[in-house]
Each structure stands twice: as C-alpha cells, then as structure tokens.
Structure 1
Amino acid sequence: MTPLPPVRLPTSLFVGRATELAELAGCVRRPPAVALLEGEAGVGKTRLVRELLRLPQVAARTVLVGACQPMRTPLPYGPVVDVLRETGHLLAGVADRLPPVTGALRPLLPELADLLPPELDRGDIAIERHRVFRAVRELLAAYGPTLLVLEDLHWADEGTQDLLRFLTSPPPPELSAVFSYRKEEGAALPGSGYRLLADARNSLLRLRPLEPGPVAALAADLLGTEVPEDFALALHHRTAGIPFVIEEVLREVRETGDAPRPTVLDLVDIPDLLRDTMSDRLARLGPTVAAVVHAAAVLDMPATEQEIGTVAGLPARRVGTALTRALAAAVLHETDTGRYALRHPLARQAAYICVPGPQRSRLHARAALMLAAAADPPVVRLAHHHRRAGELTDWVRKTLAAVDQATEVGDTALALQLLEDALVDDALPARARNTLAVRLSRVALNAIANSSTVERLGALLRDGSLVRAARGEVRLNLGRLLMNQAGRMELGQNEIEIAIHDLRDRPPLAARGMAALSIPSFGTRPVEFHLRWLDEAVRVLDGVRDQELVASVRANEVTALAQLGDPRMWSAAAALPESARSSRVRRQLSRAYNNLADAAAWLGHYGAAREYLRTGGSLLADADVPFLSMLATGTGLRLDVAAGRWDGLPTAAAALIDQAGDMGYLAADAHLALAWLAIARDDRDRASRHLDDALLAAPENAPVSLAVATGRLSIALARGDVAAAAVGAERAVGEVRNKGNWVWAAELTPWATRALVRSGRIAEAADLVAEYVAGIEGRDAPLATAGAELARGVLAAARGCQEEAVTHYAAAGEHYTTLPHPHAAASALEAAARCALELGDTATATRHLTTATTGFADLGATRDEARCRQIARRFRRGTPRGRKGYGDDLSPREREVVDLVAAGRTNRQIAQELYLSPRTVEHHVAKAMRKLGLSSRAAFEAGQ
C-alpha cells in the first residue's frame, strides 16, 4: 500500500530530542499504540513528529497527517475528515472490501463518494454519529499498517475528541496514533486518551524547553558559525529555550549581519517579538506579499493559491509570485495537500495584527463571499468571517445555521459553544440576543451542559436585556436544566415558578413548567406542592394538540404516581406507548420509562425497573439525550448492587462519575451504589466517602438524601456511636415527615428504629414504626413492606419478645429474597437466628443461620459469612437443646454473653457484636450471675 506523499521536512538542526524520538518511535512501531505529545507553543512538537516520519520503521506504513485549527472546522470531526479526504488513492485499492457501514462517510467525504458503499438510511442523531465513528474506524483498519498523526489537539472540538476516543479505545490492530497538544490550552482528549491503553504501547511525552547546550548547537546551525558560550547563555535566557522563539530571534540576528554576541540580542524586542518581526518581514517583502500573507492570516486555514488570491483581491499572476517569495522567506509554508498557511498559529496571529482594521474587514468579507459559493458552505467559518467583516445580520444567520448543523449531527457541545460565544459579543443586536438566548436554553436541555452554560443563562436573565416572552422560556429551561442535570432542585423550582408568570400568555409552554414542578423527589417541598402543580398541568392539556407537550405532562404524571407507590401507576404506565413517530415525543417517552425505572427501583419492584430501563433504552437509541442515558445507567447500578451483581460494578460506576464531569448530579447514583457496596463489604471509611460524594452531588433529591442518611446511620451504629446515630435518625425522619412520602423510608426506618432502641428510647421507636406502617398503607412498595417487617423485628427484640421478633425477621427475609435483595435477606435471617437462640430454639436458629451464611457466601461478603459461622460454632458447643427450661444451666445466649464479659467486653460492645439492645445484655448478665452464684461482674473477668 502506497503511503501519502512525503511531508516537507524542516532543514534546521534537530537537537536535544534524541530520547524523546526513540521513545516515540518505540511506541508507534508496535501497534495498536497511542502516543501523546504534550508541550507549550513552539517547543518543538511538530519538529519531533516530522523527524519520526523520516525513520525507516515508519516509511513502510501508510502515513496520514492532519492538524486541528483554532477555528472550528466546517464539517463535524473536521481534522479527521480532512485527513481522510486525501486518501482516495488508498481507498481505491480497498473499496471492494469495505463494510457497508463505511457508506455513512459519503456525506462527509463527497470527493470519495464513488469509492464508498451506498449511504445507509438516515437515522436519528445518535445512530448517525455512531455509524460515522464505526465507519472511520473501519476505513482506517482497511488501510492496514497506518500511522495517524493529528497535531494541535488543543483546538479539537468535542465532537472530534469523542471520535478520537472511540478510535483509540482501543485502536484498530494495525493503527498507531500520535496526537500533539498544548496542555495549557485545556485539551480534554489527551488526558482521557492517555488512560485508554494500559500497556507499554501507550506513551505520554512531555517536551520541555531546550537546555543551554542544545540552544548553542541550534544557534550555530542556523547562523552558520560557532557561537560563544555567553551568547548561547544569553539566548537561552531571552528565549526560555523554546525552539520556535529561538529560531525567530536567530533569523532576526542573521538578518542584521552582526556577529553572534550577547549585545546583538538587544536588537530584538522579546515581548513583542512575533508582532514586530512579522511586521518587519512583511514590510521588506513588499505590499503584494503582505497582501497574500494577510489573506492567509484572515482565512486561518490551509488554503489554495486561488483561495488566497480571491481573498487578497489580487490577479492570479501576482499571487503565484507573491506566494513564492513568502515561502522563500518562511513566512508561509506549503502543506502536504498543496495548500498554504502561516507556519505557526502565533505567526498567524502576528500577521493578523499587522492588517489595518478597515482592510481586515474587507478581507473577511471576501472570505465569506468565497466560502459561501462552495458546494457545502462551512457555516461555522462563514459566521466567523461575517462577524469580523461587521456583517452582523449574516453573522447571526450563519451562527444559527451552524447551531442547527451541529445539533443535527449530535455535536451539541459545538452548538453550545457557538451560542455562548455569540451571546458574550457586545456587537450582537438586541433582537438576535433574544433569539440566541432562547436557542441556547433549548440546546442545553438535551445536551450534557456545563457550569458555563448555566452561568451564561443566569447572566442573561439578570442583565435585563431579554423581552418577557424570551425571558420566560429561558428561565423555564434554565430551571429544568438546574433540576435535571445540576441537581439544584430548589433553585430550579424557583426559576420555573417565576417563569410560569412570564409565560401566562403561552399556556402550553407554561404547562411544561407546571409539569416540571410535579416531580415529588425534587427538592424539599411536601408532596402536596408537587401534586398541586401536576393538577394544574393536566388541566392545561384539555384541547391541546401538541403531542410532545401531552407526552411530557403524562410522563411526569406517571412519574409522580410511581414515586409515591400509588397503585394507579401500573395502569398509567401501561397506557404509555412504547414508541412514536416524532423524535421529540420519543424523547419524552424515554424520560417517562427511565423515571419509572428509577421510581420502581426505590419501591423494590426490581424486575419492573429493569423492564422499564430496557424500554427507555430502546427509545434513547432513536432520541439521543445524553443526560437521560446517564441517569438510566445510574439506576441500573443501584439495581445491580441491591441484586448482588457486584462484579464489575466499581469500574462501571467510576466510568459514569468520570463522564458526568462537573454535572455531578448525573453521577449521584454511582456514588450511592459504591457506598452501598462498601457498606456490604464492611469498608466503612470508603462507604463514608462515597456517601459524602452522593449527597454533594444530589443534596436536594429526597430519595438520595434519605439513602445517604441511612448509610450514615448504619456506619455510626457499627462503630458504636449511638449518639450520632440517634441524632441522624431524628433528622432523617423529620425530612420524611416534611416530604410526606414514607415509601422512601423503606431502608431508613429499620435503622432509625435500631438507633432509637440502642439509645434506650423504645417508646419513640414504637411510635416511629407505627407511623411508618400507617404511612405505607395502601402503597405498592415491596421494599417498604420488607422494611416494615424488619423494623417490627427490631422493636420486638428490644422489648424482649424474641418469638415475635423471629417471626418478623423471617418475614422480612422472605420479602427481601423475593425482590431480590440478597444481602438484606441474609442480614434479616441472621437477626432471626439470633432471636431464636435467645429462645433456645436451635433448630430454627440453625435453619435461618444456614440460609444467611449461604447468602453471604454467594455474595462474597466474607466478613458477614465469617460472623455467621462463628455464631453457629458457639451454640453448637454441647449446649442444651430445646426451647426454654434451662433451669440453673446457662442458655446459649447467656453463655455467649458470659464468654464476651470474660473477654473484657463492655455491655455496649456486647450489644453491638450480638445485635442486641444494651438493656437485653444487662438482663442476660444479671441472670448469668445469679445462676453461677457470682456477686460481681469482675468475677466473670477473673474466670471464676
């Protein structure tokens, strides 16, 4: 397979990079491999890559070289598309072997369309995006041993970054990739890409400035003479060892004709070096060359001779001569595709500054006119040129077109950035400001927004520039964004309530706000608040033909019913269609099913929850809404940890947390799942950290907040900190009472009951259990039913009613087994066995303890399993069997207590270890002392 034409290589001496070159070569010659080249502007990343391409081990490969530009490219995934556009000679040799999915590249590569398979039927954004990703991967794989080089990834848009992550996780078997970037530009891909490969074929090279020795060698080469040590040291000091700056300075030094001594460096103004040297060069090269360079700077992309001439306004015969002179002076350079550009972005900026303002506007206007005539006009660049030309109406129009294009292909990050950039521009007309603000709020709802988007929308509302209609919709969408992605429920609800007043003349849009306020789990307000708004939203639906609005309100209606455990949720859910023609309606249906899954998981309808997730996921495939997909993944993690599907869970949770970024609310379930897993494994410190993270991510989501409180209660009791547990229980129960939805207290109530019992407040514990049972009456919530039995068991044991406790604990175990929630089931049966031992019923104790031990063993909960086996060993030490009637002999439980007292345990420690109340322990100690004829506790400890 023939490689691309060779890249024109620099001629200056290559110094100070032998180690880095060897490491880079070693990485890429063992594909699949990813090499990341990090360094500041001008430090020599491009030169190192060019030296790599000269090595014999690279010569036999297909070499594809491209670069990102500081302006976003006209097509999605522009740098990769630009590289593939030049591979027609390669594609011709493999066209008959390409899989059908590569037909997805036809719209992006019209020049190669005849060589690609037929275009596939169009799908929604998510499908098209995934096809493009797969198609690029398949095309690169078809080219065989290939080296892909992409430079300046700090300018890559997020769509390109996502594509490269897909290509390199992992790369095709015969692909090596080299990506260069500037760390200071905040590139997102390199940091993530570096984690893609864990073996030796993954390399991160950080280029540092040159030391004085290599600087001297470089200076000698460029000046054509040996340089004194003091000159080399002064040059290093002045340039910080950055090769690009060194070369620029030395070119100026060489043009002076002076000998290389330190004083000559004073002739170069270092702070304004690039601007001054560019201005001087262009002045010396003459106005025709300057016009060509200015045009190249304005275009800000590699351009053909004709394109540069058109923008410069020069006749063709003069353009060629000027280009030749600009190339000879190294102001411009020729790319491997026969296009011309400034040799470095800093040089482009310096040349751009040299263009007088009025002339700059005319150049941008010509560039816009030229690009608009293209078969597929690059709307992003068109918008940029119109703005710089002062053509504001065209700028706004092309910006909106670029937003539409980016949204259509799923690059919502680009759409958000375009809108945010335009909205901070003081030149934006007032009317357009309203239009773009509304568009920004709409795009943000279905994207993974970031904090800057939230801040921008808030600023638009505060500055008073929006008219009432636009302000109402922006505020409404900001409120929904705050709740759905940022987890700031109270603030979001406040914004929506205000928005509803601004939208009083637009009832359908106001109804969306009412529906958004109807979700009971959002915020701290009572359930009645949410149901009141739900009624308002449903009333607006009378006579409404907007199917998306109807689907939105119905989705929130079924969500509210499900979150409350209202049995009517089943008929409401059954009435939901499983698909729709409109992608907007499908998006609302997907939200409904994912909300149902979330609610069903909190209720304990685990099987139904998984079915709803599957239905919601199938709808998401046709209506890409990233934040919904992430929330669905979180629900799945909660289901997995409850069902004992623990293998791989930490890795999946960590991936979701990483994906959420600064929208931590989307990862709250992942933190919660990790906390539950750590609690089950008795890793209290890790559990506490994850609980803190979950609450930080979703402080105003009621089920999450109560789950965090429950986890903290269990940890406090395990550590014997009864005071902290009691206070935490009071606060959490108060939160439930305020919210008015007891089904969310299914796991809290048993632990709160334990906390109250352990602190000696048995009467309060009884009141809590009674209140909880009344609160879940009539609700379809299996987890709450199990929690009620468990709480009754805790209360009965505290009252000394062990037989009743065994019954309740065993019933709880059966309920948890049915869900299934194996760890909770095993824990409940272990408690039942302990109470059976209190009664001397070793047969019942053995049955429950055996089941619990097996359950813990199946889960890999080794500490729980070991504890159960230890209990079994204790009561099998030849102790009397049967129920009650031990006379003067010690019962099995009394013997356990005596053994622990003799070991020096306090009553509180014994209660903690045996899961008894301190009062029950005191009772056993007193009976044992009486039976053994001992007068003091010290006699136990003395071994009498």
Structure 2
Amino acid sequence: MTARLLPARQPHSVFVGRAAELAELSRLVTDPPALVLIEGEAGVGKTRLVRESLRGQEIAARAVLVGGCQPMREPFPYGPVVDVLRETAPLLARVADSLSPIAGALRPLLPELSGLLPPEPPKGDAAVERHQVFRAVRELLAAYGPAVLVLEDLHWADEGTQDLLRFLMFPRIPDLALVATYRREAYPAGERSLLGDVPHLLADEHTTLLRLRPLEPADVGVLAAGLLGAQDVPHGFAAELHHRTAGIPFVIEEVLREFREIGGEPGSWALDLVDIPVLLRDTMADRLGRLGPTVTAVVHAAAVLDAPASEEDLAAVSGLSPRLVSGAVSEALAAAVLFEIGTARYALRHPLARQAVDVAIPGPRRRELHARAADLLVARKDRALVRLAHHYRQAGDLANWLSRTVAAADHAGEVGDTAFALWVLETALADDALPARALRTLAVRLSRVAANGLAQAGTVARLGALLRDGSLSGPDRGEVRINLGRVLMNQAGRIEEGQSEIEMAVHDLADRPALAARGAAALVLPAFGWRAISGHTGWLAKARQLAAAARCDDELEMVLRANHLTLLADTGDPALRPMVDELPRSSRSPRIRRQLVRAFNNLADSLCWIGRYTEAREMLRVSSTLMADSDVPYLSMLSTGTALRLDALTGSWDTLAADATHLVEQAGEMPSLAMDAWLTLAWVATARGERDEAGRQLNSAYGASPETAPFLLAISACRVANALAHGDVAAAAVGADRALRRVRAKENWLWGADLVPQAVRAFQRVGRGEDATRLVAEYEEGIAGRDAPLAAAAAVLARALVTADRRAALDGLLRAADAYAELPRPHAAAVTAEDAAAVAVELGDESLALARFGAAAAGYTALGNTRDADRCRRLSLRFRPARPTGRKAYGDELSPREREVVEFVAAGLTNRQIADELFLSPRTVEHHVSRAMRKLRVSSRTAFASAVNPS
C-alpha cells in the first residue's frame, strides 16, 4: 500500500549512473531496521533512486509510506510525518485493535483517523505531550511493519519533524526502513539539522549515507540516448550536454525535452539550436508561452505561492475564474509544468523550475500576485507567518512585511525554534529596503534571541557590524551591546570582548537604569575573565544601585539574586547555603523560570569547581526540571558540560568519551560550549598516563575558552601534572609559576585546588623548596574561612608535601586521601593513598604500606587504570608475610591471614577485591572476615580500622 505516490516520470527516461547506490539502497530497505540518508543537489536524481529501489519484488509485501517536506520552512511541527500517516486509514483499520492507549495522542494531529485511534490520553505539559506524540508515531509505524517510510526534501523539515525522526532512529523500529532525501546546501545558515548527527548515525551496517553527484559524461550520453529514443548519441554531443547542464539529470531532461520539440539531430553542434540558459529560465518561459496566457497565469500563481496549492488557491492568486483555472491546471499537468502533490494540490516540480518561472514574471505583475497571495494567507486561521511576510515583501508592502517578520520571529521563539527565529531576523536585516527605524527594532530583537538561544558565528558578526557601522544609537545600541556581550561571554568564549561591550552598554543606557542594571549584573560573575574578585563585587554594588533607581521588577531582582549567589559560590562564602535554600524551585512566570534555570546552572558549575559535588548534582537536577520551559538552548549545553565534569571528577568514566564527543558535535560553531567536553577527556587521558592524547584535548579546551578563569586554571594544573609525570620538571615549574600569577590576579585561591599541590611538587623537584613552603602558607591563608571541600583537601595534601617530619607528612597524606575519597575524587584519593604508602615504606610501617597500596590499587581498578593498579599490587607484594608451613591454632588472636584480610577491609576493599589481592576465593575471604569480627568483638566492617590501629 502506498500512502503517497511520487510523481510519475516520462516512460522513456532511463536510469543510469547509480548502480552501486541502488544496490546499497535496495539491500537496506529490504533488511530493516535500516536508515538511509540520500544527499544531493537539486535535480541530481534522489527521488528517482528511491523510486527505482521501491520497484523490487521484495517491496511488494511491505507498506510504502511516502511524504515530503515543503520549501517554505516554518515552525509547524511534524508536518510531513502527519501528512503520511493521514493517508494510512486502510493500514490503521487492520491494526487498530492492537494499539495501546498512547496512540491516542495522535488524535489532534490526525482528526481524519480519530475513529480508528484510541481515546486521547490526559493532557500534560508541552514536553509530556510532545513525548506522547513521538511514542504514538513510533507505535503506529511499528504496527504497520514491515514498512518503508520515505521522507523527501528533509532540508525543508521543521525542527519538530527532525526531532521526531531522531526519536524514531534510536532505538530503531525493528520492521521499519527509513529513507530520507535532502540537499545539504539548502539548509539555512545556523539551522539545527539532522546532518549534525550524521557521524553518530553512520555507526552500523544498517545505516548508510548515499551522496549523489552529477553524472559523468558517459552516463549523460546514455541518459540522452534514452530520452531521445536513440541507440546512442555521439560522444561530442554527450560532452557538450554535460558541459551545459553540469551533469544534473533534471536539467538534462528539461533541455532534451525542448531539444526533441525542435526536432534536432544529436550532433556536437546541435544544442546550439536550443536557446536555454543554465537555470532553465528561457526554457520555462518558452514552454509557458506555448501553453497560453491562461496556463501561464496559473503557473505564475503557483510559482508565487511556492507551496502545493489547491485550484481555489490558484484562482484567488491568479485572479481567474475557477473554471479557467481547472482547465489550465489540466493543461499544465499534461505538459509536466505543474505536478500534483498529494491530493488535488499542485506545484512546480522543482525549485529551479519555480525560480525560472518567477524571474520571468514582469515586476508589476509579480507584486500584484504576491499581494493576492498575502490576502489569501492572511484570511486563514493557520496562516504561515514567514510565507506571509515573504509575500508582503515581494508585494512592496514594507509595513506589513516588517510586522509579519517580527510576528514570525516571535512565534518561532515561542515554539522553541530559536534557530529559525534567528534566520528570519537576519534575513530581514540583510534586506536593503529595510527602513532605519525598523532596522533598529529588528537588531534589538535579534540580539535578544541570540542571547537566549544558540547563536551562530554569523549572528555574532552581524550584530558586531550593526554596532560598528553607526546604524544604532542610544538605548538601542546599549541593549544590543548587552546582549552581544552576553553571547560573547556565554557562548563564544570571548570574555574580555564581551565584558567591554557590556561596560560600554552601561554608559549608553544612562537613561534606562533597569537595562543598565542587567548589564552590570552580567559583570558580577567571577568565572569570566581575569579581573579581580573585588572588581566583580564592585559591579554587584553598581547593579544594585541601578536596580534601586529603576524600581526593578521581579525578573531583574532574580537576575541580581542569581548572580550574587554565583559570586558567593565561586568564592566559597559560608553565607551561600541558607541563601540557596531560600531560592525558589519553580515559578509561574516563564521569565522567572528562565532566570532560575540560569541560577541553578551557575550554582552547579561553581559548586563543581570547589568540590561540593553532591550539591552540584542537586542543582543540575533542579535546573533540569525547569529546563523544558526555559527555552534557553545554550544553558542546556552548559548544563551537560557541568555534568560531564562531575562524572569525570567523581569517577563515572564508562560513557564519558561518547558523551563528550556528542557535546562537541552539538556545539558546532560555538566551541566554547564544548570546553567541558575537551577538559574532561584531558583529565581522563592524564589520569591514564596518555600524554599525547591529553595534550591534544587540552589544546582544544584552551582554544575553546582561554578567558574562563577556573577552566584555564584547571587546564594549567593538568599540563603541570603531565609534565611532572614525564619528567619535564622545568616545564612543570614554569607552567606553575605562570598559572599562579593568574590565581593571584584573580584573588580566588579556591580555583587553585588542583594546581597548588602540583605546583608544590614541581617546585620541590627543581630545588625550590622554600618557594613551595611559601606557596602552601599563601594558599592556606587564601582559603581560610571558605566553604570549599576541594580546597581544604588540597591544603592538607600540600602541607603534607612540604612537611619535613615524615611521620607528620604521612599523617597528612592519610588525611588528604580520606578527604579526597569523601568528596569523592577517586583518582586523587588513589594517587594520595599511593603517596602515603611510599612514605610508610620509608618509615618501615609495612602493615600500613600494604593497606595503602591495596587501597590505591582498588581505586585505580575501579577507574579502569589497570597499569597503575598493577604497579601498586607489585609494590605491595614485598610487604605480605610469608605463609606458614603448618597450621597453628591462634585461639582468640587473629591469624596472620585474618590480620591481612582485616587490614584490607580497614583500607576499604571489598571481599572481591581482597580475594583478587590474596588469590583467594570470595567465600574464603568471607570466612576470614567473619572469624575476625568474632575475635575482635566488632559488629561491622567499619569498626576494623579502630580495632586494628587503636591509636
């Protein structure tokens, strides 16, 4: 059963040059689950390839569902998929009884099929309803299987459709083969598209990307022979045809159709007889001229509407009577100028044909047609705002063009399609006819969308150009500067530049204190740039002063509150905890929810840097519950980055590489949004001793955001650690000095928690022991009174590293290892435990050395660092007591083996880990633990530590 038939082609059109692609496509569509992406420029033969694959006998028993996306892209969710499903009543009737209640979610989208669908499930919020629709589509397609779903022209798909397709792809529907065609070059700049996922999609043998390219001269000759009804054509003719058409099959067909009409003979010179421009303009004009003025008027109307149109639509735009339109449509269909798309809707076959017709319409007539098209659309309840704006612009009605453009951008923002909103506004701003006042209005709107959406490099450049060329002044310039500054800081990683824009904006907005307060608030966040903490505190005071003068509203108050909390979190201020507890977890106002998302995101980021990992995860959880309604895409990516850092630091490494790679792909033209991904990969590579890999990831991380203070200090700490691990102590010491100057300039020692211990080691190894000791004292003073667990652990470790008394040093290392384990920072805990074991060896405390080596080995093993774990196990072998040759009764005393097991338990090892260490079975270890608990009169494993080492 075919839900939607593709337009029929001329029977004499042969299929050439695609044998390999056809074989691959046929293999996959008959072996679901499968995904085939077919990419190629306009007219290259994507549709023909799909049709050929669907002719095979293997397809006969499958449901074939074919739909297409429309060229006037607008934020109308799921349009092409809904169109396909609307035609599947016979299929649905067969499976209706087997559908679950979730299929009822499609009732609002498919009213024609409501009688066959279950009742609509209860309404939820937008995210829940969206998920229900996605699940319902999946269930319906699964029920129709085995099936082939073809979606043509995916480059025109709305973002909702693309999200739905991603949902259908993972996990795959067992009996569904999904085929999608698209033109890469047709994607608007900055648009989020399925193409961004191609590397991830092409991961198995059931997925392929077929890139169709123009035909080679030999294939052009075969196609020409078939189209001309000849056995073959001369080589020169084929070469000239290839030259004139660039080998694009559709253009070849159009040229040769005209060539047949003039009755030419195929020679190398014969094409000169056909007056055909490269893009078919003259050819289309000639054909329309022969079809007569009535058909031409209808085709002109179809070209202006630029979407499948009914006869009534064509009559309204052309100004002809329904009777004349009906006859003209029949003639145009017969001449293959118009094609029926769906049921009783007509359009030019291809954008090239539409453009060829459009440019041939006289200017006054074209404006008249666009005015009628606008009147037609404006009378509809479901009018497409972008298309309406386009018609008004072409009609010369600038006032309506601008109002509809603004409305289209606002609507796109409301439905979450910020990329489309940016495209609408940027397109309008590029129009030379834009009046100066309207330019200022659109520029301000563009800056707002960019600041709250996910801007592209082109958007940043356009806003910068508007500021430089004098187009903006006064408050408009100030607001654009603030929003551009936010984009530069939050998304582009150009911190100093962004801060400068905002500082200038505050001066521009002297008469608008509320907006100036927002700008000043953006300069409160300490992580941005290298200005001292005191400077950020000063901007907080300035922002509050401006807000008071403006009698700030609730949203501005929440902005200030969020940034103040971030400042407190970054500096480990003990006053933070009760203030966070008082922060609302939700709000009825979308604007307040947006600020709450930002607040909790920022808090998670800040708490992660200072070692309050459990609270950071809680902040991310709260942020996530608010995120669906906030509509700030870049915050979602920053949240993902913070979660990656938390996973890396706390030892959750299983999916880290894949998750980080996905974030890098999502970031696209804004690499600063992927800085956390590269940093986490560098951390793991450093921990595993993979110096080259760590270096590559650190370089990428630094290039993404060299002006984010805690981030750059983390990179520096990683570089120093790598240099030390590979014996380059001079590089380690120089790098430490450079990074420490940054810390001192920033006045926030909390962000030096990973750097300072590495710097101490570097200074000691180059003979700068006094510098190391002074650094520790300076660090301890810098973090005094701060609520920052990571800094506290680092201070204990750093002090232990410079302590001359080895017993005191050992005690410090043990306390530091426990502190890192408590955070948790498992890798740091394992490294410090190994350091403690080494000092215990120096002091002759073999029992403690054995326990600490065991704890380190267990920590490394849990992280997958087998080389480090093996090293610790080898070192511990020398301290294990020899096994006695005969049995001995120990009564209530621990046997050597029991004591050995108890020491491992006290070190935190599990029975399985102890079994691996002692080459015993877990069951045997369990017996030893049980007897030891009885002999020592303890009731828990945690009590072993004090029982074995009562001091």
How high is the TM-score relative to the length of structure 2?
0.87
- Map of 1:849 onto structure 2: 853
Alignment partner of 1:647 is 2:654: yes
For residue 194 of structure 1, report the CA deviation from its aligned partner. Answer: 6.1
Alignment partner of 1:208 is 2:213: yes
Q: 2:4–2:65: 8 Å Cα contact kept in structure 1? A: no
- Map of 2:41 onto structure 1: 40
- Map of 1:244 onto structure 2: 250
Per-residue CA deviations over 1:95-125 (Å, capped at 9, x if unaligned) read 6665555565566556666766666777666
**1:497 and 1:631, CA in 2 relative to 1: closer, same or farther beyond 3 A?**
same
Q: State how far apart, in whole Å, the 2-side matches of 1:73 and 1:582 are.
A: 27
3-state SS, counterpart of residue 634 of structure 1: helix
- Map of 1:291 onto structure 2: 297
Alignment partner of 1:546 is 2:553: yes
Q: 2:559–2:595: 8 Å Cα contact kept in structure 1? A: yes
- Map of 1:807 onto structure 2: 811
- Map of 1:934 onto structure 2: none
3-state SS, counterpart of residue 466 of structure 1: coil
- Map of 2:887 onto structure 1: none
Q: 1:125–1:623: 8 Å Cα contact kept in structure 2? A: no
Which residue identity does 2:342 align to in structure 1? D
- Map of 2:167 onto structure 1: 166
Alignment partner of 1:673 is 2:658: no
Which residue identity does 1:806 align to in structure 2? L
For residue 661 of structure 1, report the CA deviation from its aligned partner. Answer: 1.4
- Map of 2:306 onto structure 1: 300
Alignment partner of 1:868 is 2:868: no
3-state SS, counterpart of residue 633 of structure 1: helix
How high is the TM-score relative to the length of structure 1?
0.88
Q: 2:295–2:328: 8 Å Cα contact kept in structure 1? A: yes
- Map of 1:14 onto structure 2: 14
- Map of 2:729 onto structure 1: 722
- Map of 1:915 onto structure 2: none
Most deviating of 118-127 and 614-623:
118-127
- Map of 1:839 onto structure 2: 843
Most deviating of 851-860 and 367-376:
851-860
For residue 242 of structure 1, report the CA deviation from its aligned partner. Answer: 2.5
Per-residue CA deviations over 1:681-713 (Å, capped at 9, x if unaligned) read 111111111111111112111111000000000
- Map of 2:387 onto structure 1: 381
Backbone CA RMSD of aligned residues = 2.5
Q: 2:743–2:752: 8 Å Cα contact kept in structure 1? A: yes
For residue 218 of structure 1, report the CA deviation from its aligned partner. Answer: 2.7
Q: State how far apart, in whole Å, the 1-side matches of 2:734 and 2:75 are.
A: 60
**1:119 and 1:365, CA in 2 relative to 1: closer, same or farther beyond 3 A?**
farther
Which residue identity does 1:515 align to in structure 2? A
Q: State how far apart, in whole Å, the 1-side matches of 2:65 and 2:795 are.
A: 66
Alignment partner of 1:504 is 2:510: yes
3-state SS, counterpart of residue 205 of structure 1: strand
3-state SS, counterpart of residue 571 of structure 1: helix
- Map of 2:231 onto structure 1: 226
**1:876 and 1:133, CA in 2 relative to 1: closer, same or farther beyond 3 A?**
closer
Q: State how far apart, in whole Å, the 2-side matches of 1:613 and 1:7 are.
A: 48
For residue 554 of structure 1, report the CA deviation from its aligned partner. Answer: 0.7
Runs of at least 5 residues in structure 1 that lack an aligned partner in the other structure: 879-944
3-state SS, counterpart of residue 36 of structure 1: strand
Alignment partner of 1:701 is 2:708: yes
- Map of 1:70 onto structure 2: 71
Alignment partner of 1:360 is 2:366: yes
Taking the TM superposition and a 5 Å limit, the aligned residue runs for 1:284-683 are: 284-542=290-548, 544=551, 546-683=553-690
Q: State how far apart, in whole Å, the 1-side matches of 2:665 and 2:196 are.
A: 12
For residue 737 of structure 1, report the CA deviation from its aligned partner. Answer: 0.1
Identity %: 60
- Map of 1:181 onto structure 2: 182
Taking the TM superposition and a 5 Å limit, the aligned residue runs for 1:757-796 are: 757-796=764-803
For residue 206 of structure 1, report the CA deviation from its aligned partner. Answer: 2.5
Q: 1:716–1:725: 8 Å Cα contact kept in structure 2? A: yes
**1:445 and 1:110, CA in 2 relative to 1: closer, same or farther beyond 3 A?**
farther
Q: State how far apart, in whole Å, the 2-side matches of 1:419 and 1:163 are.
A: 26
- Map of 1:4 onto structure 2: 3
For residue 537 of structure 1, report the CA deviation from its aligned partner. Answer: 2.3
Which residue identity does 1:15 align to in structure 2? F
**1:124 and 1:481, CA in 2 relative to 1: closer, same or farther beyond 3 A?**
farther
- Map of 1:892 onto structure 2: none
3-state SS, counterpart of residue 262 of structure 1: coil
Q: 1:64–1:83: 8 Å Cα contact kept in structure 2? A: yes
- Map of 1:748 onto structure 2: 755
- Map of 2:938 onto structure 1: none
- Map of 2:58 onto structure 1: 57
Q: State how far apart, in whole Å, the 2-side matches of 1:587 and 1:762 are.
A: 50
**1:233 and 1:847, CA in 2 relative to 1: closer, same or farther beyond 3 A?**
closer
Runs of at least 5 residues in structure 2 that lack an aligned partner in the other structure: 883-951
**1:391 and 1:214, CA in 2 relative to 1: closer, same or farther beyond 3 A?**
same
Which residue identity does 1:706 align to in structure 2? L
Q: 2:76–2:158: 8 Å Cα contact kept in structure 1? A: no
Most deviating of 93-102 and 662-671:
93-102
**1:21 and 1:338, CA in 2 relative to 1: closer, same or farther beyond 3 A?**
farther
For residue 349 of structure 1, report the CA deviation from its aligned partner. Answer: 0.9
3-state SS, counterpart of residue 280 of structure 2: helix
3-state SS, counterpart of residue 662 of structure 1: coil
3-state SS, counterpart of residue 65 of structure 1: strand
Q: State how far apart, in whole Å, the 1-side matches of 2:687 and 2:31 are.
A: 43
Most deviating of 101-110 and 551-560:
101-110
For residue 427 of structure 1, report the CA deviation from its aligned partner. Answer: 1.4
Most deviating of 638-647 and 560-569:
638-647
**1:57 and 1:8, CA in 2 relative to 1: closer, same or farther beyond 3 A?**
farther
Q: State how far apart, in whole Å, the 2-side matches of 1:584 and 1:37 are.
A: 42
**1:61 and 1:615, CA in 2 relative to 1: closer, same or farther beyond 3 A?**
same
Alignment partner of 1:281 is 2:287: yes
3-state SS, counterpart of residue 303 of structure 1: coil
For residue 836 of structure 1, report the CA deviation from its aligned partner. Answer: 2.3
For residue 778 of structure 1, report the CA deviation from its aligned partner. Answer: 0.4
Which residue identity does 2:816 align to in structure 1? A
Per-residue CA deviations over 1:129-159 (Å, capped at 9, x if unaligned) read 5454444434433444332212222333444
Which residue identity does 1:349 align to in structure 2? Q
Q: State how far apart, in whole Å, the 2-side matches of 1:370 and 1:93 are.
A: 40
3-state SS, counterpart of residue 66 of structure 2: strand
For residue 592 of structure 1, report the CA deviation from its aligned partner. Answer: 1.4
Q: State how far apart, in whole Å, the 1-side matches of 2:99 and 2:462 are.
A: 45
For residue 866 of structure 1, report the CA deviation from its aligned partner. Answer: 2.2
Q: State how far apart, in whole Å, the 2-side matches of 1:114 and 1:374 are.
A: 27
Q: 1:66–1:82: 8 Å Cα contact kept in structure 2? A: yes
For residue 254 of structure 1, report the CA deviation from its aligned partner. Answer: 0.9
Q: State how far apart, in whole Å, the 1-side matches of 2:539 and 2:120 are.
A: 48
Per-residue CA deviations over 1:207-236 (Å, capped at 9, x if unaligned) read 233345543333233223334433344434
Q: 2:32–2:174: 8 Å Cα contact kept in structure 1? A: yes
- Map of 2:826 onto structure 1: 822
Q: State how far apart, in whole Å, the 2-side matches of 1:478 and 1:104 are.
A: 41
Q: 2:571–2:750: 8 Å Cα contact kept in structure 1? A: yes
Q: State how far apart, in whole Å, the 2-side matches of 1:114 and 1:308 are.
A: 33
Q: 1:157–1:414: 8 Å Cα contact kept in structure 2? A: no
Q: State how far apart, in whole Å, the 1-side matches of 2:118 and 2:385 are.
A: 27
Q: State how far apart, in whole Å, the 2-side matches of 1:404 and 1:146 are.
A: 39
Q: 1:713–1:729: 8 Å Cα contact kept in structure 2? A: yes
3-state SS, counterpart of residue 63 of structure 1: strand
Q: 2:276–2:283: 8 Å Cα contact kept in structure 1? A: no
Q: 1:664–1:697: 8 Å Cα contact kept in structure 2? A: yes
Per-residue CA deviations over 1:54-86 (Å, capped at 9, x if unaligned) read 333323333332223332146234333443444
